[in-house]
Amino acid sequence: MAETTRGRTVAVFAGNIPCEFKQTRMAAEAGSGLRQLNTATGNPISLQKIDSMTREPVAGLIAGKEVGDGQFVQLSEAELDGAFAEREKDIRQVRMEDISDVPVGRIKSSYFLTPKNKSFWGMIGGRMRETKRQMRFHFVEGRQERDAIIRYENDVLVMYVLFFPSECREAKPDKPECKAELKDKVDALFAKLGSVPVEEAENQRDKVIENLVMRKAMGEVIEAKPVSKEDKIEKTAEELLNASL
């Protein structure tokens, strides 16, 4: 399993063959840059940890587990890191299985993987990709043991860390059916919509905020616009389909 405590390296065994990977998150959402301010003074807010009994600010923190009414066993970061490192060594054996669909609701986090030992991975990974197999194993992420899967998606090596089944919401199946006499018209609508340009959404939130900040900084009065409500649909779906074409 992960040889480092920060999840940057994944090391597993396929039988007695070690496979080690560099781990990179698939995506990270950028922050908006906005901060919370005091309404009265305009000063930025800083968060403080407060002792639940003395109500005084806390100088240092340590983890603890309640074992009785208000009684805690304290655990240092070094003790926790060591314990989870030992657990990772115990659970790093993989099971090889055929690739199967992973419900999107079960994926907790996703990573790109870069194999470190090319000779081992050329043998294991090459055959895994050709036969459409995946590795399943246990993984410690954020001091929580979870199931994880390593496999190829369109020739890209990825790892999925999964939620516990008990954490996932059940989704209701939805199988809409289009009337046979409308299929040609709907297909024509799809073809028409295929040429509609859609702007990339990259950093659009930041552009809106930056423009608003610039206008406010220049002293412009910004008119607050109410959120528009959806128009009530008076026509049938078929009438709107015909109008769209």
pLDDT of residue 224: 81
pLDDT of residue 153: 95
Q: Structural domain boundaries of the chain?
A: 9-36+73-167, 180-222+231-244
* Chunked mean pLDDT (size 10), the chain, 245 residues: 54 92 86 86 88 88 87 89 86 93 91 93 94 94 90 96 92 92 95 90 75 87 78 83 88
* 18 in Cβ contact with 117 (< 8 Å): yes
Q: What is the pTM of this model?
A: 0.74
pLDDT of residue 203: 64
Closest CA to 4 of 79, 89, 124: 89
Q: Which residues contact 185 (CB under 8 A, 6 or more apart)?
A: 241, 242, 245
Alpha carbon distance 178, 207 (integer Å)? 40
